[in-house]
Structure 1
Amino acid sequence: MKKLLLFSVLFILVAYRTSTCKAQEKSPALANGLALTPPMGWNSWNSFQCTITEKIVKQMADIMVSSGMAAVGYKYINVDDCWQNVNRTNGHVTTSSNFSFGIKSLADYVHGKGLKLGVYSCRGTKTCQERAGSYSYETTDANDYAAWGVDYLKYDNCFEAPGSNQQKDYEKMRDALKNSGRDIVFSICAWDFNTWAPNTGNLWRTAFDIYDEWPSL
């Protein structure tokens, strides 16, 4: 009887393990090998919004290491909206005066700490804070991110271009990142869940902005 019970338990465990593996194998996800577990790190928006500066980002990278957070898996230092200028220069996004040394220099600093750098853009003609958006410049921007050493892109949903399609816009940036020659995590910030998101991004939001307040949760 004991042997039969033990066999039954083992069979259940094996069956559970097998079904779990199959479920994992069939789970839809952007198949680029990135962000297989939830990315952990820091984002500038809630604390600094458009007052974010290059100096603050470097300080956050320093703290991430000195606090021990990096050692337990917090790797991303993500700069949200307002690092860009309002207008492009010769078709390229340039950094605001708060980032006078440019994103490449900042990425080098963050990488020197053993961390990864993320930036922000938007599928529309402008970002949510009315800086230069990526609409119709997806390939240019993705190639610039790669050249600068960016590791993560948060892609927002403001200022939709007339006649554009949300899903197609996100797919354009997905493909541009894939073809950029650098591994860049793609975070879809589309304000709600879309069924196409798992095959388009590495991660995607499912609600509006959240803050460190109970009503927000």
Structure 2
Amino acid sequence: MNLTELIHDLQITRRDGASTDGVDVTGIAADSRRVTDGMLFVAVKGTTVDGHNYIASAIERGASAIVCERIPEAIDEAVKARVPFIVVPDAAAALGQLLDAWYGHPSRRLTLVGVTGTNGKTTVATLLYDLFRRLGYHVGLISTVCNRIDEETLPTDHTTPDPVTLHELIARMAEAGCSHVFMEVSSHAVDQQRIAGLHYAAGVFTNLTRDHLDYHKEVDNY
């Protein structure tokens, strides 16, 4: 996909380095270890790791362009001369937008329902999945226990997957003909913008207790 087309809808603070014209992107990564030739690397500052510290590594692995919130001082002019840098105010939000565009806006091609709250997310999402399956719909499920595309079961290791995995999964569901997807959405995922770029048709809120204040610190934050 052409880089200029891919970043068209991003809120861009400034551009630096090489021109984006004529640059083709072979994929999108937010983990420098997964970068291969031609991929766009998005430097996201996480809770424990800052992707900006791995921009040089991503370029060494063949990244064709970088989306970031700041350009590290260690990046020299010779590197900038051959790699475009797109600076954005929020790289996590930009990552979701880019993935949505890369996969052809899959969450707009089906009815995506998010289920959030402290307790009961898995139960509610699974009950909705089972109900719609019994009604004859092609349905997807994204949950703590497992992910499903109709009867196919896929492994999972987070309540809400990382953005790259999540958008790829929803794209698979859309391609498989799912009309509805029921998805657990953790408060951590909302705070970390793992769901950025998704288009929800509806939301379900189960309840709110004090269980996750170790992460959110204050009830108002939660």
Q: Do Structure 1 and Structure 2 share a fold, with TM-score over 0.5?
A: no
Tell me which of the two structures has the higher relative contact order, counting C-alpha pairs closer than 8 angstroms and 6 or more residues apart: 2
**Structure with max Cα Rg:** 1
Is the helix fraction higher in 1 or 2? 1
Q: What TM-score do you get using the length of structure 2 for normalisation?
A: 0.28
Is the strand fraction higher in 1 or 2? 2
